[in-house]
Amino acid sequence: MHVVAGNHDIGFHNNIRRYSAKRFVDMFQAPSVQHLILKDSHFILINSMALHGDSCELCLDARSSIDRISDAMNCAESVVKCNTEQVNFNYSHPIIMQVSITPETYAVNKCGLPKEGTIILTAIIMIFALIIFLSTKRTIGR
């Protein structure tokens, strides 16, 4: 299993504490940028919170890692493109995926989870039904 930190794990970009980010990396061995090779396919995993580009420590580390991976991929593609050292993997186009699950995403609904709008509408209907029930309920003897 491979893990990438997200805003719910370590916080949104402006509110990330150094300790939270370090703890996540240490516990899950999941730096902000990872290069995985699985069955000769290259996967680049990137924590989107590190792509703000404001020169904070998290963003600078991510940029450095991305540049290093880019150099290695260019070198694997062609020896002419090697800046520094040889790499020990075969080149293939990298797979970069950005996944976001939102209340309106089909993937959430496909998993059997109701969309957020459905939950809110159901709650409103239930509240109105409860109000009507309680207002029409007559006590015995009245």
Q: Pick the residue with more confidence: 141 or 123?
A: 123
Q: pLDDT digits over 93-123, tens only? A: 887 766 555 555 555 455 555 666 777 888 8
CA 36 and chain centroid, separation:
16
Residue 118 included in any domain? yes
User: In terms of domains, do 65 and 114 share one?
Assistant: no
The model carries a pTM of 0.60
Residue 62 included in any domain? yes
Residue 1 included in any domain? no
User: In terms of domains, do 117 and 134 share one?
Assistant: yes
Q: How many domains does the chain have?
A: 2
The range of the structural domain enclosing residue 70 comes to 7-99
Give the per-residue pLDDT at 112: 57
Q: pLDDT digits over 47-92, tens only? A: 888 888 788 888 888 899 998 888 888 888 877 777 666 677 778 8
DSSP secondary structure letters along 62-90? HHHHHHHHHHHHHHHH-GGG-SS---SS-
Residue 2 included in any domain? no
CA atoms within 13 A on the CB side of 130: 6
User: In terms of domains, do 53 and 108 share one?
Assistant: no
